[in-house]
Chains A and B, each alone.
Chain A
């Protein structure tokens, strides 16, 4: 198996429809207008030598290696910066060009170390390749003069030399190998949009500098890896390549972190992963990556991984390692015993948004067909269930309407309740690129997120609302749009129900919804709301991107509907550049919802009470299905506390850490008799488990993930599962132990079953995905190539539905005891509960959760930056370090939830969305006060966690 080939065309593709024909080295070449001569040549298979050009960034024309001669034109223009023109006759190789190129190379090499044999880039160095291509045989200048190569020149210190910067945990910067081609600087600017790199100095003094001549890790660098990818030499090199050597084969797979679903090439040496490189043909990421997907895969071989199944009688016992057979038999007999003793509905399962579609499908199938009930739920319950409900009601499908490419054509973007630069970094980079081209941005968020203001990005409007007032703000936007006549009547008459619109318009027009009327409630100046509404309605293609800051509220579903109303009223649905786009948190949270993970829905969002749908599955599975929806996660926990729910199979989710009101979750788990946890690590939930089944990573299995744009991406196995089995195999064995006659030999067979039963997946198969790369559902007879954009010719549900969105304040209110509002979020380097990223070098950037607090609130309480503070709510309390910043408004505090020793969810309450039970993570009334250190609860929890992780016969795992 070789490396997946990727051709570097030198300059980006042109989007022009107009074609131009020219002659290059005697060959006729036809390319779109605006294409560079370099790219046109490469498309014709003629490789022009180059160093500073690469197709991820715009042409720069500095290396002078790609010169060509054009008949009738003077001189030797650079082919990268010269666009094609009709009838040009270009020569890429003449004796004059050869001499010039060789001369240029001589100059480069005269200031470059000659250590190719021991260089990490040996075998993957463009400088080396070009020296070969131009036939460099001699360097007439010698190597003795001024240079950046040697630490000492004839014993004297060489001030031009710079030691290697190894501060970044994942890559090194060796300035002595730098040819100052600027590719890294341009990649950081154009691709990533961080602008962390520059060329400092001038002339021979020029060199690459991170920040203000700082170590990479101290600079603005976000470690996305774009510079490393762009570097043609060993100047920027992955430490893993330095350690292991060049990869010999690669496999295209999909990242298992956020919902962007980036395609990567896993570059391997044997079964060892050398590096993950973003795949240029990846349709979600277009060759870009972030620090997590690019570098943070070390958890897959972390020593904390549990590789053998384990059992214990009581959760106070140490774990006992057992064989897989013993584990399956134990779970099967326990589950059957519990069902016999407490009834059929006393057990259930939780599917994972981190596992593949196929694995999720199997877990829900196990619950429905094996357990004989519908007690299956998934972590989308606590994140995007309101999206499913809200968009289902208004548009008819429970998913985002666009592909990520759509952002390239948008003119006005609303980002609400999302922090893309941290949560969805690759999407954020694509968005920032569009913003730099002139698109306008409106941010609705209590916190001043990075997108509000940063290098070359400035939101036109930032509406810093009080947490919990989303509905009031979005309805106020609608008020302005309707009362000022800014709505798109033609669109509404064509696509939506006009009478429903009239009803809704009447509702939002009421004076009590005006920006002025809700100003005291939301804290957003009315003028900002009016300005934002006018901009969105009249600024061209308007798109809305939102995250958990919308859904995780008591009115999460209402806000989703309000957003949908806004999009419909302004006619922003059904074409590129517009739409309603939920930014899904986990790699396969879209997929887990699609696969029927909810207690009331079978795969493809079909209600369990629908006889025809049930019949399809009953026929195939050979069982009778229960037509009553089962329990949701919070209901399961309630039932457990009440004593009617006794057993649960949890695949790849840490509900103890991620679900709200930790104490309630732990009480529920503790009340069960058989908790089965399948995971990579002994996570927090496993502290309450009786059976632990080792999980496998995305590198160890075949399958598919579905990202936020409904794109079904292949996941490919690149190494043998360290625990022995892929997760789907474990679920299958478990099902067999419970007496089900399952016999899948490969995940593709599971996908075939999904396609056969679920209309929106009808044409999906592994062969088809192989051919297409990826497809976006619905993918069926009507949409054989998938659906990049939805609702193109009309809404899926028929007519778009406007729904009244009445603002109802949450019951979680501030008062004298709890005067501040806590809201939560994430940070770039860490992911979710941190189980994976905490086990990588990403902790360099974020090794603890900190409480962001406004300087005024801090001063009132005598809190200084870095102090321990006690954070208390009605539910509980925890302690953490304070970070004083004016990013948050007075009255609002903010923290992340990546670290289990903080347990931010001890604080959050059990209030939830009225429609879907999605917990209200984003609003909790709290008090903050100085503290001396960890709370009693934290100390106690820590001790309990430590004890519950003991494994008989093994030394205590240190974490």
Chain B
């Protein structure tokens, strides 16, 4: 493989990889950084990461797809994750999810038409004691009910 580094994505990727590749086990930190940079892991980043780390494209692809948190497409401005794991389900997560979906007018894995919110399921935030729980842009929220869910949606919509 001998793809020239061309294009915006490739050159931004290259500068991230170059800065971080000296670390031990650099692939995951690099992928996090790429996602922070672009909001997702662009397809065109993968060949650059692979080449710089002496990996194959397939290997990098395997890692990216293994973790649900690495996305292959951009999200809305905000990402709302609702926990769907057992503890939260037993405390009414399904009702909360239905409410949130109705308020946003989208299903899981979708983004509102105005590009404001992406809704995603998550399997356990480690917040079982405060079930049902959710995470908005990295910040966790617990003990959700219909009102709290609506509040969360309002905040996400802003």
Listed in ascending order, the chain A residues whose CB lies under 8 Å from chain B are: 194-202, 209-213, 219-220, 453-458, 884-887
B147 within 8 A of A: no
Take A200-B65, A455-B50 as given contacts and tell me if A210 and B2 are in contact as well, using a CB distance cutoff of 8 Å. no
Q: Pick the residue among B2, B4, B59, B65 that contacts A195 (CB under 8 A).
A: B59
A104 to nearest B CB, angstroms?
23
Contact with A along B1-26 (1 / 0, CB 8 A): 11010000000000000000000000
Interface centre among B65, B66, B68 (most CB of A within 10 A): B65
Nearest 7 CB-CB pairs, A to B? Answer: A198-B62, A195-B56, A200-B65, A455-B56, A198-B58, A212-B61, A201-B65
- In the complex, what residue of chain A is closest to B68 when comparing beta carbons? A202
A210 and B58 contacting across the interface, CB-CB below 8 Å: yes
B58 to nearest A CB, angstroms?
4
B98 within 8 A of A: no
B46 within 8 A of A: yes
A564 CA / B149 CA spacing, docked (Å)? 78
Take A220-B1, A885-B2, A887-B2 as given contacts and tell me if A211 and B61 are in contact as well, using a CB distance cutoff of 8 Å. yes
B2 and A209 contacting across the interface, CB-CB below 8 Å: no
Take A198-B61, A198-B62, A220-B1 as given contacts and tell me if A212 and B46 are in contact as well, using a CB distance cutoff of 8 Å. yes
- With a cutoff of 8 Å between Cβ atoms, the chain A residues found around residue B4 in the complex are 884-886
Take A200-B65, A201-B66, A887-B2 as given contacts and tell me if A212 and B54 are in contact as well, using a CB distance cutoff of 8 Å. no
- In the complex, what residue of chain B is closest to A220 when comparing beta carbons? B56
A200 and B61 contacting across the interface, CB-CB below 8 Å: yes
- With a cutoff of 8 Å between Cβ atoms, the chain B residues found around residue A194 in the complex are 56
Q: Pick the residue among A196, A210, A220, A458 that contacts B54 (CB under 8 A).
A: A458
A457 CA / B51 CA spacing, docked (Å)? 11
- With a cutoff of 8 Å between Cβ atoms, the chain A residues found around residue B51 in the complex are 453
B90 within 8 A of A: no
A940 to nearest B CB, angstroms?
35
Known: A200-B66, A202-B65. 8 other contacts (CB 8 A): A198-B59, A198-B61, A202-B66, A210-B58, A212-B57, A212-B61, A220-B1, A885-B2
A884 CA / B3 CA spacing, docked (Å)? 10
A209 and B54 contacting across the interface, CB-CB below 8 Å: no
B143 to nearest A CB, angstroms?
29
Take A202-B66, A885-B2, A887-B2 as given contacts and tell me if A209 and B55 are in contact as well, using a CB distance cutoff of 8 Å. no
- In the complex, what residue of chain B is closest to A855 when comparing beta carbons? B4
B54 and A219 contacting across the interface, CB-CB below 8 Å: no
A201 CA / B70 CA spacing, docked (Å)? 11
- With a cutoff of 8 Å between Cβ atoms, the chain B residues found around residue A211 in the complex are 56-58, 61
A458 CA / B51 CA spacing, docked (Å)? 11
- With a cutoff of 8 Å between Cβ atoms, the chain A residues found around residue B43 in the complex are 212
A194 CA / B55 CA spacing, docked (Å)? 10
Interface size for B (C-beta < 8 A) is: 19
B57 and A220 contacting across the interface, CB-CB below 8 Å: yes
B58 and A456 contacting across the interface, CB-CB below 8 Å: no
- With a cutoff of 8 Å between Cβ atoms, the chain B residues found around residue A202 in the complex are 65-66, 68
- In the complex, what residue of chain A is closest to B50 when comparing beta carbons? A455
Q: List 9 A-B contacts (CB under 8 A).
A: A196-B58, A198-B58, A199-B62, A201-B65, A202-B68, A212-B46, A454-B54, A455-B59, A457-B54
- With a cutoff of 8 Å between Cβ atoms, the chain B residues found around residue A195 in the complex are 55-56, 58-59
A199 CA / B64 CA spacing, docked (Å)? 11
Contact with A along B65-90 (1 / 0, CB 8 A): 11010000000000000000000000
- With a cutoff of 8 Å between Cβ atoms, the chain A residues found around residue B66 in the complex are 200-202
A668 to nearest B CB, angstroms?
39
Listed in ascending order, the chain B residues whose CB lies under 8 Å from chain A are: 1-2, 4, 43, 46, 50-51, 54-62, 65-66, 68
A457 CA / B46 CA spacing, docked (Å)? 18
Interface centre among B1, B51, B58, B60 (most CB of A within 10 A): B58
- With a cutoff of 8 Å between Cβ atoms, the chain B residues found around residue A884 in the complex are 4
- In the complex, what residue of chain B is closest to A219 when comparing beta carbons? B58
A183 to nearest B CB, angstroms?
15
Chain B interface, DSSP helix/strand/loop, else mixed: helix
A453 to nearest B CB, angstroms?
7
- With a cutoff of 8 Å between Cβ atoms, the chain A residues found around residue B54 in the complex are 453-458
A628 CA / B113 CA spacing, docked (Å)? 90
A884 CA / B4 CA spacing, docked (Å)? 9
B57 and A209 contacting across the interface, CB-CB below 8 Å: no
A194 CA / B59 CA spacing, docked (Å)? 10
- With a cutoff of 8 Å between Cβ atoms, the chain B residues found around residue A454 in the complex are 1, 54
- With a cutoff of 8 Å between Cβ atoms, the chain B residues found around residue A458 in the complex are 54
- With a cutoff of 8 Å between Cβ atoms, the chain A residues found around residue B65 in the complex are 200-202, 209, 213
Q: Pick the residue among B55, B60, B61 that contacts A456 (CB under 8 A).
A: B55
Interface centre among B50, B54, B59, B62 (most CB of A within 10 A): B62
- With a cutoff of 8 Å between Cβ atoms, the chain B residues found around residue A887 in the complex are 2
A887 CA / B51 CA spacing, docked (Å)? 14
A210 CA / B56 CA spacing, docked (Å)? 10
A439 to nearest B CB, angstroms?
15
A431 CA / B13 CA spacing, docked (Å)? 31
B45 to nearest A CB, angstroms?
10
A789 to nearest B CB, angstroms?
32
- In the complex, what residue of chain A is closest to B55 when comparing beta carbons? A455
- In the complex, what residue of chain A is closest to B46 when comparing beta carbons? A212
A535 CA / B124 CA spacing, docked (Å)? 52
- With a cutoff of 8 Å between Cβ atoms, the chain B residues found around residue A453 in the complex are 51, 54
- In the complex, what residue of chain A is closest to B52 when comparing beta carbons? A453
A449 CA / B100 CA spacing, docked (Å)? 56
- In the complex, what residue of chain A is closest to B1 when comparing beta carbons? A220
- With a cutoff of 8 Å between Cβ atoms, the chain B residues found around residue A455 in the complex are 50, 54-56, 59
- With a cutoff of 8 Å between Cβ atoms, the chain B residues found around residue A199 in the complex are 62
B87 to nearest A CB, angstroms?
20
Interface centre among A198, A200, A885 (most CB of B within 10 A): A198
A212 CA / B42 CA spacing, docked (Å)? 11
- With a cutoff of 8 Å between Cβ atoms, the chain B residues found around residue A196 in the complex are 56, 58
Interface centre among A213, A884, A886 (most CB of B within 10 A): A213
A195 CA / B56 CA spacing, docked (Å)? 6
A573 CA / B9 CA spacing, docked (Å)? 50
Take A201-B65, A202-B66, A887-B2 as given contacts and tell me if A212 and B58 are in contact as well, using a CB distance cutoff of 8 Å. yes
A198 CA / B50 CA spacing, docked (Å)? 13
A455 CA / B59 CA spacing, docked (Å)? 9
A382 CA / B142 CA spacing, docked (Å)? 78
- With a cutoff of 8 Å between Cβ atoms, the chain A residues found around residue B55 in the complex are 195, 455-456
- In the complex, what residue of chain B is closest to A458 when comparing beta carbons? B54
A220 CA / B50 CA spacing, docked (Å)? 12
Q: Pick the residue among B1, B50, B58 that contacts A209 (CB under 8 A).
A: B58
- With a cutoff of 8 Å between Cβ atoms, the chain A residues found around residue B56 in the complex are 194-196, 198, 211, 220, 455
- In the complex, what residue of chain B is closest to A887 when comparing beta carbons? B2
B8 to nearest A CB, angstroms?
19
- In the complex, what residue of chain B is closest to A197 when comparing beta carbons? B58
Take A200-B65, A201-B66 as given contacts and tell me if A220 and B58 are in contact as well, using a CB distance cutoff of 8 Å. yes
B61 and A213 contacting across the interface, CB-CB below 8 Å: yes
A457 CA / B58 CA spacing, docked (Å)? 15
- In the complex, what residue of chain A is closest to B53 when comparing beta carbons? A455
A106 to nearest B CB, angstroms?
25
A209 and B61 contacting across the interface, CB-CB below 8 Å: yes
A449 to nearest B CB, angstroms?
11
A202 CA / B46 CA spacing, docked (Å)? 19
- With a cutoff of 8 Å between Cβ atoms, the chain B residues found around residue A456 in the complex are 54-55
- With a cutoff of 8 Å between Cβ atoms, the chain A residues found around residue B61 in the complex are 198, 200, 209, 211-213
A480 CA / B2 CA spacing, docked (Å)? 33
Interface centre among A201, A212, A213 (most CB of B within 10 A): A212
B33 to nearest A CB, angstroms?
19
A196 to nearest B CB, angstroms?
5
B59 to nearest A CB, angstroms?
6
Interface centre among A220, A458, A884 (most CB of B within 10 A): A220
A833 to nearest B CB, angstroms?
25
- With a cutoff of 8 Å between Cβ atoms, the chain B residues found around residue A201 in the complex are 65-66
- In the complex, what residue of chain B is closest to A221 when comparing beta carbons? B58
A456 CA / B51 CA spacing, docked (Å)? 10
- In the complex, what residue of chain B is closest to A193 when comparing beta carbons? B56
- With a cutoff of 8 Å between Cβ atoms, the chain B residues found around residue A886 in the complex are 2, 4
